Amino acid sequence: MQVGCDPKHDSTRNLVGGRWLPTILDVMRRTDAAAIRLDDVAFPGYRGVMCLEVGGPEPGIGCGGRGIIAAIELLQDLGAFAALDPGFVIYDVLGDVVCGGFAMPLREGYAEETYIVTSGELMALYAANNICRGIRRFAGRSRTRLAGIIGNGRRVQGEEAVVGEFASRIGSSLMIYLPQDDVVRSSELRGQTVVQYAPDSPQAARYRLLAERIIGNQDLIVPEPTELEALVSLVERASAAGAAAGTAPAAGG
């Protein structure tokens, strides 16, 4: 089961052929709560993945994070997790732990393992570090733990090394580094996942490897967030090293 928790409601789009699913919050706005059925908000996607999108409030009205609270409470009332009995539940959540609503899957322990997706850009690492602070803050009341870092390539100088060192600094590990690859954009334009659109591509192989590593992962920790100055130094050193070597960022394979 994949639960998209971004108000843009685009998390599951490639799993359902490019369609925009009706969101849980939209259904709740137009339907009496007692009349909502599970199949009003849960839709089967590629290879049987059950797809749900939380959605968000009307633009300029309300807090998007609060929608996650209402949506998860509805799913519990509907008995969604028992009825669908998924092997895995993936919450695709914004990295905005400043908003309490977006942090709900972490805070309330709905998610047992947190994987942080980040590039080697300073602001992406800053957001990742803030998520670590959130996990640490909730550790006493929640079973959620950091399970690893996933490098999402943006062709930054020395990016894989930067993300790997960041993972090491916070006491975690780099699960995999995914170079930027045009096959991702091509598959999105066709409303498909990379594994569906280009199953024999190097990128699809990396995703399968990541899945295997997640399934076998038992390295769950309470992270040790680092300081902003250390993040800046990390990115600056990688950039300086690349400039000294006269190299350009490598393109994705």
Residue 238: pLDDT band with limits 50, 70, 90: confident
Per-position DSSP letters for the chain, written without gaps between them: -EEE-STT--TTGGGGTT--PPPHHHHHHHS-GGG--GGGT-EE-GGG-EEEE---PSTTSS-HHHHHHHHHHHHHHTTHHHHH--S--EEE--S-TTSTTTTHHHHTTS-SEEEEEE-SSHHHHHHHHHHHHHHHHHTTT---EEEEEEEE----TTHHHHHHHHHHHTT--EEEEE---HHHHHHHHTT--HHHH-TTSHHHHHHHHHHHHHHH----B------HHHHHHHHHHHHHHHHHHT-PPPPP-
Confidence of residue 111 (pLDDT cuts 50, 70, 90): confident
User: Does residue 112 register a pLDDT over 70?
Assistant: yes
Q: What would be the CATH architecture of the domain defined by 112-253?
A: 3-Layer(aba) Sandwich (3.40)
Report the pLDDT value the prediction gives residue 65, as an integer from 0 to 100.
Answer: 65
Q: What is the pLDDT of residues 7-33, one digit of tens each?
A: 889 999 999 999 999 999 999 989 998
- pLDDT exceeds cutoff 70 at 246: no
Q: Residues of the chain with pLDDT > 70: what percent?
A: 89
Q: What is the pLDDT of residue 252?
A: 47
Domain boundaries, the chain: 1-96, 112-253
